[in-house]
Structure 1
Amino acid sequence: MITALDQPVKPQVFTAVSGRRKTINVLATFLVYASFVVAMVPLVWVLYTVISRGFSALVSETWFTRSMRGILPFDEGGGAYHAVVGTLMQGAVAAAFAIPVGLMVSIYLVEYSNGSRLGKITTFMVDILSGVPSIVAALFIYALWITTLGFSKSSFAVALALLLLMLPVVIRSGEEMLRIVPMDLREASYALGVPKWKTIVRIVIPTALPGIITGLMLAIARVIGEAAPLLILVGYATYINYNMVDGEMGSLPGMIITELNNPSAAGRERLWGAALTLVLIIALLNVFATLISRYTGSKTK
């Protein structure tokens, strides 16, 4: 005998939707798409302008193989080899100091501070440092490194200023990625008798590694385009200088500023070429971060 309890329960279908909800849904959808379009318009416009005006310089055969040594402001030719090398060297030195220090601070704030007074002070100082303008960081390095300690203007001083700008980004990105690691993974490791330091090294960091690497690449891309430290701490050189602690050094922001004062057609071409090269370097850093994030970290089966 089949009772009412044996009958399959049909899912209730909600078909009656009020007109007010439909109107709000349509309005919200329209606002989302409109915001996307508004945000994309300046981005596409900037990219189109930089690419259209700087592409001719990039495709020249001397752009990535020659420097501006011996090239007069009104002369044709020359390249950005010296500027690319200088920009990468300054960014690499700043990253070499900022990445280990920033990650260790992130680990302390997430794993060891536990709401302590030192942790709160550190968080407050990171917040303050993240809002410091680049020119203020450059002036601080000038006052400390050059005026007080007596060192000369150099590319290393620029790297120190970039370090101050890069450090809060590294700390914040590393802290956020470490916090999203599930506590269950830590507790499972502790239950097996694994020490805390080894749990952090073998469990927590590999789990958060893709996000950490992305944050590091964004931090590097954030600082390599800064121009204020270059204007204050080092002069622009039209040649390659591998000595980070002495002499002027070329860089892409410095090349842009120099060629901006050049009214010739060749100067305008080199200006937009340097701008496009800087954009491409930042884009490559983001692509590199995406690839590393995809092939690192813990894999799920």
Structure 2
Amino acid sequence: MSTALAENRPSTLQGARLPKWSPYAIAGGSLAVAIGIGLAAGLHSRVQWGLIAAILFVVGSYVIASRVEGTRQAKDRLATSLVWVAFLLAVVPLVSLVWVTVARGVKVLDVYFLTHSMGVVADTEPGGGIYAAILGSLEQVALATVIAAPIGVLTAVYLVEYGRGNLSRAITFFVDVMTGIPSIVAGLFILSLMLQFDMQPFGFAGSLALAILMMPVVVRSTEEMLKLVPNELREASLALGVPKWRTILKVVLPTSLGGIITGVMLAVARIAGETAPVLLLVWGNPFINANPFEGAQASLPLYIYQQYANSAGSGAAYDRAWAASLTLIAFVMILNLVARGIARWKAPKTGR
């Protein structure tokens, strides 16, 4: 009987705790106080109000928790509040960017805009579209992917499966250096080669520069995916007498295929918005040019730059620049969604 009463008696080791809704109440109070401080101080920027509210939320969470729950739990709530503030600081600009782009881009974004090119339409006149820019971007990015993806994957396979000694360390060093190379440097490198052979701007030159930027991303992502493959799978295949190259082809690569494809897709999304190499090597073309190996060619990032540069902050060119920006964001978003879908589809299935 006494044992049952002892089990039903509330524990005295559990200290006072704030209710679950307390963080929301502290956040709301911090926001209200921040607005009051901003109005009293003559601060009209909502960004300033938000920063004041964030500081008050962090300080308020720690002070209230230390009074009610103790110093140890207050430190935990302090770390949690800092994480939430950092998360909001990262998300708010992104949401604001997407909101502004959608609000301004939908003005002229329609079927006509997507299926027609600028042609003889002047930048100050309404009309025209981005068909030539979409076609040019798709061709240039596709050619860059065809060049960079196989080279990047094979390089990663060498580094993980065969790489030993000075050559492996040298390749790793140069891949690290190329990861942070500015895009304009890749464009200047291809431009110097073009000048040596007296070549005119054309789409494939931009693809070469984009491939240079894409390769280190593919190498790094593929290398990490290959390292995640358990060594037991390799050893089991080798123990059965399967050659190493066949083990890599039939065991290692299929196991990490989802991650490799995801890395390639993310690398494509990284180069899809590059402007500097295209500006140097492709130049842009208001007319449709479906041949990337001859003549100047349009692309979406270059189209956005040109339209905005000629818009003076308003007019038809300004609206076309925002509509093209929305199209480019949608393209990158679709690539990321496809990468996630492929990664989930190709993820190794674990038995129950």
Residue in structure 2 matching 1:199, options 247, 253, 266: 247
Deviation at 1:103, TM superposition (A): 0.2
**1:234-255 Cα distance to aligned partner (Å, 9 max, x none):** 2211121111122111111111
Residue in structure 1 matching 2:79, options 7, 10, 28: 28
**1:201-227 Cα distance to aligned partner (Å, 9 max, x none):** 111111111111111111001111111
Give the Cα separation in 2 of the matches to 1:64 and 1:129: 35
Deviation at 1:63, TM superposition (A): 1.3
Deviation at 1:148, TM superposition (A): 1.7
Q: Which moved more, 1:271-280 or 1:261-270?
A: 261-270
Deviation at 1:300, TM superposition (A): 2.6
Deviation at 1:95, TM superposition (A): 0.3
SS in 2 for 1:57: coil
Aligned: 1:41 with 2:92? yes
> Could you tell me which amino acid in structure 1 is paired with residue 327 of structure 2?
T
Deviation at 1:23, TM superposition (A): 1.6
Identity %: 45
Residue in structure 1 matching 2:220, options 172, 179, 198: 172
Distance 1:193 1:237, change over 3 A: same
Aligned: 1:80 with 2:118? no
Give the Cα separation in 2 of the matches to 1:245 and 1:151: 11
Deviation at 1:296, TM superposition (A): 2.1
Deviation at 1:295, TM superposition (A): 1.7
- The answer on whether the counterparts of 2:282 and 2:298 sit within 8 Å (CA) in structure 1 is no
TM (norm. structure 2) is 0.78
Give the Cα separation in 2 of the matches to 1:49 and 1:89: 29
Give the Cα separation in 2 of the matches to 1:125 and 1:149: 27
Q: 1:136 corresponds to which residue?
A: 185
Q: 1:6 corresponds to which residue?
A: none
Deviation at 1:190, TM superposition (A): 1.3
Q: 1:61 corresponds to which residue?
A: 111
Provide structure 1 residue ranges, at least 5 long, that are not aligned to the other structure: 1-12
After superposition, residues 90-169 of structure 1 pair within 5 angstroms as 90-114=140-164, 116-144=165-193, 146-169=194-217
Q: 2:298 corresponds to which residue?
A: 250
Give the Cα separation in 2 of the matches to 1:167 and 1:106: 10
RMSD of the alignment, in Å?
1.7
**1:23-70 Cα distance to aligned partner (Å, 9 max, x none):** 221111111111111110110111111111001222x23011111112
Give the Cα separation in 2 of the matches to 1:27 and 1:174: 38
Distance 1:23 1:240, change over 3 A: same
After superposition, residues 214-293 of structure 1 pair within 5 angstroms as 214-260=262-308, 261-263=310-312, 265-293=315-343
- The answer on whether the counterparts of 2:258 and 2:343 sit within 8 Å (CA) in structure 1 is yes
Q: 1:4 corresponds to which residue?
A: none
**1:157-198 Cα distance to aligned partner (Å, 9 max, x none):** 111110110010000000011111111111111122211111
- The answer on whether the counterparts of 1:206 and 1:297 sit within 8 Å (CA) in structure 2 is no
Q: 1:8 corresponds to which residue?
A: none
SS in 2 for 1:30: helix
- The answer on whether the counterparts of 1:94 and 1:162 sit within 8 Å (CA) in structure 2 is yes
Greater Rg, structure 1 or structure 2? 2
> Could you tell me which amino acid in structure 2 is paired with residue 50 of structure 1?
T
TM (norm. structure 1) is 0.91
- The answer on whether the counterparts of 2:202 and 2:294 sit within 8 Å (CA) in structure 1 is yes
Provide structure 2 residue ranges, at least 5 long, that are not aligned to the other structure: 1-10, 16-68
SS in 1 for 2:106: helix
- The answer on whether the counterparts of 1:206 and 1:298 sit within 8 Å (CA) in structure 2 is no
- The answer on whether the counterparts of 1:106 and 1:175 sit within 8 Å (CA) in structure 2 is yes
Aligned: 1:19 with 2:70? yes
Task: Tell me how many residue pairs correspond in the alignment.
Answer: 286
- The answer on whether the counterparts of 1:54 and 1:273 sit within 8 Å (CA) in structure 2 is yes
User: Which structure is richer in relative contact order (CA contacts within 8 A, separation 6 or more)?
Assistant: 1
